[in-house]
Every structure is written in C-alpha cells, then in structure tokens.
Amino acid sequence: MNAVVTGGTRGIGRGIAEELLKNGFSVLVTSRNENGFDEMKSLYGDRVCFYPCDVSDVKSIEALVSFAEEKFGSVDVLVNNAGVAPRERRDILEITPDDFDFLLDINLKGTFFVSQKFVPLLTKKEKSRIVNISSMSAYTASVNRGEYCISKAGISMTTKLFAARLAEYGVSVIEVRPGIIETDMTSGVKEKYEKLISEGITPIKRMGQPEDIGRCVLSVAQGNFDFCTGTVIDCDGGFNVRIL
Ligand code: NDP
C-alpha cells in the first residue's frame, strides 16, 4: 500500500508517516525542506522517500504528483497534513491581507489542490482514502489567529465536498481534528497550553503526541473506516466535549 503525507518530515506528519511505515506502507513524504528525512531514511530504508513540495504552489503540487506516479503508479492514501500557524499572532482587527493570504494559501488552498491533483492516482485503486488534518480550531474561535481558524474551518468543508464528489470512485475522505499536540508548531506556547490543560481544558490531562494522530490515520488507512466518508474524528483529549 502506498501513502503520500504532506508535511511528513516533522511533527504530526512525521508521526503519521512513521505509523504507516511501521505497518508496512510505502510512504512518500513531502515538505519544503528535507530536514529530518535522513533519519527517517536510516530507520525505514527504501520504503520511505522524499520529494520537495510547497503546497501553496500548484506547479509544485503537479511536480509532486508526477513523482508519485513514477514512484508508485497509484496511491492508496493521501494525507493532507502540511500546515502553518500565523507568522505572528495578531488580533483579527489588525491582521493584514498578506497575513490572511499566507495562511489560506498553505493550509486551505494547499489541501484543496493537493486533493484535486491526486485524484487521478487515487482513482486508479478500487478503494482509496484521503485524510485531511484540520484542527479543533475548525470550530473554536481564537481571535488572535482568526485566519488559522478560517483555514481549518475551510478544510472541514473541503472534506465534505471531496467526500460527496469522490464516493462513486471508491475514495473515502475523512477529517482528523487534532487537539493540542506537542510539536514545533506549539513549542512557543507550550507553557500556556500545559497550564490550560492542568486547569481542565481537556478531560484527558496531557498534550497529545504526533503518534496519537498517527494511530488514528493508520486506522483509516488500513480500511477500518471504509463505510465512513465526510466523517470527522476528534483526536483531542476530549476538548470537543462540552462540560456542564
Ligand atoms: P509543524 O510545524 O511541526 O510541521 C509542519 C509540517 O508541514 C512540516 O513538515 C513543514 O515542513 C510542512 N510545511 C509547512 N508549510 C508547508 C508548505 N507550504 N508546503 C509543504 N509543506 C509545508 O506542525 P504540526 O506537526 O504541529 O502540524 C501539522 C498539521 O497539524 C498542520 O496542518 C497543523 O495546522 C495541524 N494541527 C496541529 C496542531 C498542534 O497542536 N500541533 C493542532 C491541530 C492541528 P517545511 O517547513 O519544511 O515545509
């Protein structure tokens, strides 16, 4: 089975790629920089490969698809994980059109066009899966990073749209919503989040780890959710539970 994981060199993407690799998948990881890939190569050998791609650039996505076609011929699982936080957290009354475009181009437009461009390789299989990594920010308002929340809410609709469009071709599309996960992205706000967790913001009192998300995605990739499409999996320590 062949998988493509965007942003697979670090953090959650790497956690996903490693769970797939440990369970027999061949995995193409992609990101803008190759940093971190050498270590993956030494652990998993020829079953893992890297191709550089900036998901905000459609030409770069097309080059990735050509590489994947040459390497694998077809794709069983596409994981849209690449994403960024705001370069600087700013109130929604102060963000600029540049801040907005930067975030939306990578997180939302990237997810949309990577999905669209991989359809021909996914539909070569009788059954294939797309997993979109969104966030609890898809439904949680953080006014100091509104453009991030909007990008993740957009991924939720992208999931529904592709689920509706691709079911007839045997492609399931699932959204995985991580909660607070310990990665480079959250390193600058780790103390703040740890305090919130200790105060009870999540019923399960720990930060998530990349492998927590990796195991959810693995289960989808292995076909355990094949009668589900457009479905959301909250992998968030219970953040989604309203408590009275
Ligand atoms: P990291 O910053 O640790 O890793 C991000 C990965 O995405 C890197 O591999 C990075 O590589 C790649 N990436 C960034 N921009 C691009 C781009 N333009 N094109 C291709 N690849 C890119 O982040 P996380 O692992 O924490 O986050 C992964 C996903 O999970 C993101 O979509 C994020 O929004 C989401 N998420 C994270 C949460 C968390 O608490 N950490 C919570 C909820 C959701 P490079 O820089 O080399 O391109």
Interval 186-239: pLDDT, tens:
999 999 999 999 999 999 999 999 999 999 999 999 999 999 999 999 999 999
Report yes or no on 241 lying in a domain. no
Report yes or no on 127 lying in a domain. yes
pLDDT for 66 equals 98
Report yes or no on 70 lying in a domain. yes
Going from the Cα of 81 to the center of ligand 1, the distance in angstroms, rounded, reads: 6
Determine the structural domain holding residue 112 and report its residue range: 2-235
Report yes or no on 204 lying in a domain. yes
Ligand 1 binding pocket includes 32 (Cβ within 6 Å): yes
Report yes or no on 156 lying in a domain. yes
Ligand 1 binding pocket includes 31 (Cβ within 6 Å): yes
pLDDT for 173 equals 98
pLDDT for 188 equals 93
Q: What is the DSSP letter of 21?
A: H
Report yes or no on 244 lying in a domain. no
Q: Strand ranges (DSSP E) for the chain?
A: 2-6, 26-31, 48-52, 77-80, 128-133, 171-178, 231-235
CATH of the domain at 193: 3.40.50.720
pLDDT for 208 equals 98
Q: Which pLDDT tens digit goes with each residue over 83-116?
A: 999 999 999 999 999 999 999 999 999 999 999 9
pLDDT above 90 coverage of the chain, percent:
99
pLDDT for 2 equals 98
Q: How far is CA 34 from the centre of its chain?
A: 18
Ligand 1 binding pocket includes 1 (Cβ within 6 Å): no
Report yes or no on 227 lying in a domain. yes
Pocket test for ligand 1, best of 64, 84, 155 (most atoms within 8 A of CB): 84
pLDDT for 86 equals 97
Q: Which pLDDT tens digit goes with each residue over 114-138?
A: 999 999 999 999 999 999 999 999 9
Average pLDDT of the segment spanning 172-185:
98
Considering the candidates 51, 139, 148, 193, report the single residue annotated as catalytic: 148
Ligand 1 binding pocket includes 186 (Cβ within 6 Å): yes
Those residues whose C-beta lies under 8 Å from the C-beta of residue 27, and which sit 6 or more positions away, are 2, 3, 4, 5, 8, 17, 20, 21, 44, 47, 48, 49
By three-state DSSP, how is residue 215 classified? helix
Helix pair angle (110-122, 146-166), 10° resolution: 20
pLDDT for 159 equals 99
Going from the Cα of 31 to the center of ligand 1, the distance in angstroms, rounded, reads: 9
Nearest ligand 1 atom to alpha carbon 184: 3
User: What distance in Å separates the CA atoms of residue 159 and residue 139, rounded to the nearest whole number?
Assistant: 14
What total number of domains does the chain contain? Answer: 1
Pocket test for ligand 1, best of 6, 9, 10 (most atoms within 8 A of CB): 10
pLDDT for 110 equals 98
Q: Is 227:170 a contact under the CB 8 Å cutoff?
A: no
> Annotated catalytic, 148?
yes
Report yes or no on 242 lying in a domain. no
∠ CA 241-242-244, nearest 5°, is 135
Going from the Cα of 68 to the center of ligand 1, the distance in angstroms, rounded, reads: 21
Average pLDDT of the segment spanning 20-45:
96
pLDDT for 122 equals 98
pLDDT band at 52; cut points 50, 70, 90: very high
Those residues whose C-beta lies under 8 Å from the C-beta of residue 61, and which sit 6 or more positions away, are 53, 55, 110, 113, 114, 117
pLDDT for 80 equals 99
